Structure 1
Amino acid sequence: MARSILSLGALLLGSAFLVFAGGLNGLLLPIRGEIEGFTAASLGLLGTGWAVGYVAGCIATSSLVARVGHVRVFGAMCAVAAITVLLSLLFVTPWVWVPLRGIAGFCFAGAAMVVESWLNEKAESSNRGRIFGVYTMVNLGATTAGQLALTTGDPAGYVFFVVAAIVYCMALLPTAVSATTTPTALVKVSLDLGGLWRNSPIAVVAVFMVGISNAAFGTLVAVYGARTGLSVSEVALFASVPVLAGAIAQVPIGILSDRYDRRKVLIGIALLALVADATFLFAGFTGTAALIATSAVFGAAVFSMYPVIVAHANDHAAPGTFIQVSGGLLLVFGVGSIIGPTIAGFAMTRYGTSSLFWTTAAAHVLMLLFALLRLRARAAVPAEDKTAFRAAPLARGTTPETAVLAEPTDPETPASPA
């Protein structure tokens, strides 16, 4: 029993180092790019590069692990991710940063999948929920800590790049020296858009729009904050508070979505997101506190949408297809994540800083209109046929292996498409 606990702790520690480094580097690059005078368009492409690499990593890692094994793949992913951070320090130009960001996204996805496959091997029906909950909270805390680390120094120097690279290397140590057994093969996913659409059209459209909105915000929030006049420390808070608010909001939203039609819950969340969008666009902020408070409302809405959408899709899924549906939706989210930062970045360069929230507002309006349309097309799923809501880490940090770890019990009979 003690060995099992220690091996699980090693996996969680490795994951914590991984996401700490990812959170630090993910916020450091746009802040440093803004200091260097990069355009918003080029900084938006950082998010696009990351999303392309992340989606590719989710698809390709299972084959890599099958060839050389979990330990070698995990070590290689962490090492290459560290190398990309150091190369970003040596070559301070978006032409180098964007492809490096793609490589980092690939490595991050691969490393996360390996950690989650180890956790899946340890999880049993009696403790799967607890393990997933602890894993989610560890990653949330480590991501936030990585972002807030920027409040302790000057991002114009080299220190934070070195720290991120060191922590990426530290991530491979707990698993390299642990006695954890090698888990089974990783899950493979593919994008069956037709199957996903037949299962739940609203899930496909909504998760695509969430990808556009959340990736645009996650990539360019630092640029918006800096150009609004926030200090580096305030920018770090501005980026971190929405993530925490989104995690907290999943508790009441999950309860509501289990009791009521999830489409109506999603409509309510989209309306709340639009209120936050409109506040950013028209309020004319004069204080930092109001800006950060609005970002908390925004985060509570946009970062709680993804698990509601996945839960709704799985309410309609045939028994035994939960992983395929969740993995397919993750890839659709990834496609949206590729598009969102590019649109928002070029719009901010052409039309001004507020274009970030015109982009997110457009995504939320389209999601809302399609949800209202589908609400009239099909009846709600009966409560007894619903799968249980599962809180989720940030969708950008979700992999197909996350779906395996969070897998609920399938309903006995599939519901009709929504």
Structure 2
Amino acid sequence: MFASLFSIASLMLSTFLMMVGYGLMNYLVPVRAVAEGWSPLLISLIATGYTVGFTLSCIVTPTLVLRVGHVRVFGALITLLTAAILASSLMVEWQVWVALRAVAGFAVAGCYLVIESWLNERVTNETRGSMFSVYMIVTLGGAIAGQYLVPLGDPRTTTLFIVCGILFAISILPTALSTAQSPAPIAKVQLGLGKLYRRSPVAFVGAILAGILSGTWSSLGGVYTTGSGLSTGQGATLLACVLAGGALGQIPIGRISDLTDRRYVMVACGAAGVFSAFAMFFMTPLTPNLLYITAFIVGSMLYPIYALNVAHANDRADPSEYVTISSSLMVLYGLGTVAGPLIGGGAMELAGPRGLMLYLAVGFAIYGAYAGWRVWRGNPTVHPDDRADFHAIAVPMRGTDPAGSIAVDYEEEYDPSTFDENARTG
């Protein structure tokens, strides 16, 4: 294991530095937007720019890697990311920020894809689980550390934006100076949304809802903490609790879902999400510790539900279809992250900052109710021997695929002779 860790040390250091910048950026931008007096709807529009760029990058970046390689693409994307955050401090206009956030989203998603495909090639089947656990710790630790930089400065000045730009700029150094061999080019795969829906309607719909939920929180969580009267330090702690819940919650949820019909677990996650989101709606900054605990529970439902969708879809797919299924889920998830902040911003406009929690509660309710409806329809449960393993999705990666990067090509034709459809529809 130590040899494996040594082989990815420079990559993990680059990832950590990038994630510190990411955590600082994702908290700093909404706090500064609130300080500028922009409405929740305008802030949600800015957030949508980020998610549009993020989703587009999932399609475009693998093609770029095929042409010029991982290191060059990673360097180019880090340059874009640095330029976007520094320009944001110079041109504080919401129209400009929409475009700059789109650039940042494109760069961040591309960096994730490069890092994960690089990591995937460096590990073996025997060390994959432990190495991706290290990866999750690095990403989570970096993001939380970045959030706690916000209380150390004034978001209304350029200082924190410059610090963020410096963090992004130096994150390229460990990888650029490493003597390790670059990974092989990313392989293109095909997108099959129709096949995914036929295999697993609940995973198809669930991926969109998971994107709506996590995309909304990731984009507007900072607006919620600021508007609710929390200090920047308290807000950083609450956001950290959500991320920690998302990481730790995947362990019990994954194990339970491997032992039973995953749709039952989806229903339970939806119900728990509804109750915890409602609880946060009624809480105030006067009880911060209770708010942190509830936020941890919300996070433990918010992020693992995407991994549930991936595992559920793979349960009903032929092994040769895993990559196609995962790429389709990722695109659906990305579409959800685009729509989520816009609707969530409208909810906050109508009901105030805490309207975000009502919106999340409704999303959780739909997620759980749809899974329950599919069970009620009598769709068969997959036999335990046929279930794919549950794989945790690194937070806050927002749905990228740890199995490798993808590039969308075209819709595959469905061939019913390749698999027993009657046994695994659901």
Structure 2: distance between partners of 1:234 and 1:137? 22
Segments of structure 1 that go 5 or more residues without pairing to the other structure are: 406-411
Instruction: Answer yes or no: is 1:388 the counterpart of 2:389.
Output: yes
| Structure 2 unaligned spans of 5+ | 406-418
Cα distance in 2 for residues equivalent to 1:284 and 1:5: 43
AA paired with 1:368? Answer: G
Change (3 A) 1:271 1:3: closer
Task: Provide the rounded CA distance (Å) in 2 between the counterparts of 1:179 and 1:143.
Answer: 27
Indicate the residue corresponding to 1:335 in structure 2: 335
CA offsets 1:124-158 (integer angstroms, 9 cap, x no match): 22222222221122111111111122232322222
Distance 2:313 2:396 in 1: 15
Report the Cα distance in structure 2 between the residues aligned to 1:260 and 1:49, rounded to whole angstroms: 39
CA contact (8 A) 1:151 1:233 kept: yes
Asked if the contact 1:117–1:184 (Cα under 8 Å) also holds between the matched residues in 2, the reply is no
Show CA shifts across 1:206-225 (max 9, x none): 11111111111121112111
Indicate the residue corresponding to 1:231 in structure 2.
Answer: 231
Residues 306 and 395, structure 1, Cα contact 8 Å, conserved in 2: no
Note closer, same or farther for the CA distance 1:16–1:283 as it changes in structure 2 (3 Å cut): closer
- Name the structure 2 match of 1:354: 354
In the aligned structure 1, how far is the partner of 2:363 from the partner of 2:103?
27
Q: How does 1:363-374 map to 2 (within 5 A)?
A: 363-374=363-374
Per the alignment, residue 292 of structure 1 pairs with 292
Question: For residue 50 of structure 1, what is the aligned residue in structure 2?
Answer: 50
- Worse-superposed segment, 46-55 or 100-109: 46-55
Look up the match of 1:95.
Answer: 95
1:150-161 matches, cutoff 5 A: 150-161=150-161
Following superposition, the deviation at residue 344 of structure 1 comes to 0.9
Q: How far apart in 1 are the matches of 2:66 and 2:305?
A: 34
- What is the CA–CA distance in structure 2 between the aligned matches of 1:29 and 1:244, rounded to whole Å? 21
Amino acid at match of 1:417: T
Q: How does 1:97-176 map to 2 (within 5 A)?
A: 97-176=97-176
Q: Whole-Å Cα distance in 1 between the matches of residues 80 and 295 of structure 2?
A: 33
User: How much does 1:280 deviate?
Assistant: 2.6
Counterparts of 1:259 and 1:286 in 2: how far apart (Å)?
A: 41
CA–CA separation in structure 2 for the residues paired with 1:416 and 1:356: 36
Equivalent-residue separation in structure 1 for 2:396 and 2:2 (angstroms): 32
Identical counterparts, % of pairs? 35
> How far, CA to CA, are the matches of 1:47 and 1:365 in structure 2?
24
Alpha-carbon distance in structure 2 between the residues aligned to 1:79 and 1:135: 23
Cα distance in 2 between the residues matched to 1:296 and 1:272: 12
Alignment correspondent of 1:408: none
1:58-85 alpha-carbon deviations (Å, 9 max, x no partner) = 1111111122222211111001100000
Q: How many residues align?
A: 411
CA distance in 1, matches of 2:70, 2:214: 30
Distance 1:305 1:208 in 2: 11
Structure 1 SS opposite 2:249: helix
Q: Distance in 2 between matches of 1:4 and 1:297?
A: 33
In structure 2, distance between residues paired with 1:380 and 1:285:
44
Q: Which residue of 1 aligns with 2:380?
A: 379
Q: Which residue of 1 aligns with 2:424?
A: 416
2:222 maps to 1:214: no
Determine if contact 1:59/1:190 at 8 Å carries over to the other structure: no
Q: State how far apart, in whole Å, the 2-side matches of 1:74 and 1:188 are.
A: 18
Deviation, structure 1 residue 267? 0.7
- 1:14 correspondence with 2:14: yes
CA separation in 1, counterparts of 2:424 and 2:198? 9
Deviation of residue 282 (structure 1)? 4.0
User: Which range is displaced more, 120-129 or 139-148?
Assistant: 120-129
For 1:315, the equivalent position in structure 2 comes to 315
- The answer on whether the counterparts of 1:319 and 1:413 sit within 8 Å (CA) in structure 2 is no
Instruction: Give CA-to-partner distance per residue, 1:163-212, whole Å, 9 cap, x none.
Output: 11111111111111111212112143554221110110000111111111
CA apart distance, 1:25: 0.4
- The aligned residue for residue 409 of structure 1 is none
Q: Distance in 2 between matches of 1:271 and 1:2?
A: 41
* Counterpart code for 2:342: T
Contact 1:59–1:188 at 8 Å: present in 2 too? no
- C-alpha RMSD over aligned residues: 2.0
Give CA-to-partner distance per residue, 1:228-262, whole Å, 9 cap, x none: 11111111111111110121111111111111111
Q: Match for 1:399: what amino acid?
A: T
Which position in structure 2 is the counterpart of 1:260? 260
Q: SS state of the match for residue 241, structure 1?
A: helix
Range moving further from structure 2, 162-171 or 80-89: 162-171
